[in-house]
Chains A and B, each alone.
Chain A
């Protein structure tokens, strides 16, 4: 077999593999799209419109549509609410960034509080305050209470 023939076979195999990879999986798409009348993902809905959407998704896949094109078509018909995950652009980006921001702010808050506690524990002035003798009157009352308890 000539080198040219080997290269041709490799190109064809790679192209076929690439095409197979590009074909969207209907089950994956059904889990990423929302039924507009029932607010659950398509894979969990048997509503008439959900069934129609599943049917059309399969038809579009068979016609060679990419995942992006299928989603874009459904967004055009039903609006961005048809996507189970909000887009990672524009105003919808907030839906992704806000929880992350809150997580970071929470971690910072916990860090600040922990730092405050550790500072207080290491503070020699506070330790010295703990070692101060009791007020004589308080000490007398404490002794009296202990004696009464032991009796």
Chain B
């Protein structure tokens, strides 16, 4: 191979490598734009879509073992995202406990998902407010994106078939501005017509 030919080959290889690098970066950008901002279930629900409650399998704080959304299939569920450092969560904790006691004979489960919190702080909170409903621990916040949670507390309603029903409640439940939505969500989860 002559010097010119070798030089040409080296340059072509360099160009191919540079082009491959640019193509890889472009592909990453396209992937990020297409899939990086994945919608949470709450956003789909707000647009009127029928949405399955996003899956999770998390350690329980109220007892040993884990609990997944699949374990609750066949039961109406009120899913509440909370944390011990969240001040409005303190206001709604007694309401959620009351809801659980009132409807558990009808099969309704209130499920707390404790997010971005210390386990010990969460357990202290549960003891302080006398919470008896099941609570799972999500320190890493792995459920937040899938469910489309934007702040704490937030509450969702899941019917017996595992579908989200009603509307997402942002902020503490059963206050004046969302009392109707809270009661409607429970009724829809239970399968009563509203």
Which residues of chain A in 85-130 are interfacial with respect to chain B, using CB atoms and an 8 Å cutoff?
A: 105, 109, 112-113, 115-116, 119-120, 123, 125
Contacts of B139 in A (CB 8 A): 36, 77-79
Number of A-B contacts (CB under 8 A): 49
Contacts of A56 in B (CB 8 A): 118
Instruction: Sample 20 A-B pairs with CB under 8 A, ordered by A number.
Output: A36-B139, A48-B87, A49-B83, A52-B85, A52-B121, A77-B117, A77-B119, A79-B139, A81-B140, A105-B21, A109-B17, A112-B11, A113-B11, A113-B14, A116-B7, A119-B3, A120-B7, A123-B3, A123-B4, A125-B4
Q: What is the predominant secondary structure among interface residues of chain A facing chain B?
A: helix
CA gap between A81 and B145 in the complex, in Å:
15
Contact string against A for B residues 12-43, beta-carbon threshold 8 Å, 1 for contact and 0 otherwise: 00100110010000000000000000000000
Counting CB contacts under 8 A, is A37 at the interface? yes
CA gap between A120 and B85 in the complex, in Å:
68
CA gap between A49 and B11 in the complex, in Å:
55
Counting CB contacts under 8 A, is B170 at the interface? no
Contact string against A for B residues 102-141, beta-carbon threshold 8 Å, 1 for contact and 0 otherwise: 0000000000000011110100000000000000000111
CB distance from A125 to the nearest CB of B (A): 8
Find out whether the CB atom of A109 lies under 8 angstroms from the CB atom of B14: yes
CA gap between A125 and B116 in the complex, in Å:
70
Q: What is the predominant secondary structure among interface residues of chain B facing chain A?
A: helix
CB distance from B135 to the nearest CB of A (A): 15
Find out whether the CB atom of B10 lies under 8 angstroms from the CB atom of A36: no
CB distance from A130 to the nearest CB of B (A): 15
CA gap between A24 and B139 in the complex, in Å:
24
Using A48-B85, A56-B118 as known contacts, say yes or no to A79 and B14 having CB atoms under 8 A apart.
no
Find out whether the CB atom of A36 lies under 8 angstroms from the CB atom of B116: yes
Which residues of chain A in 42-60 are interfacial with respect to chain B, using CB atoms and an 8 Å cutoff?
A: 48-49, 52, 56
Contacts of B11 in A (CB 8 A): 112-113, 116
Contacts of A77 in B (CB 8 A): 117-119, 139
Counting CB contacts under 8 A, is B50 at the interface? no
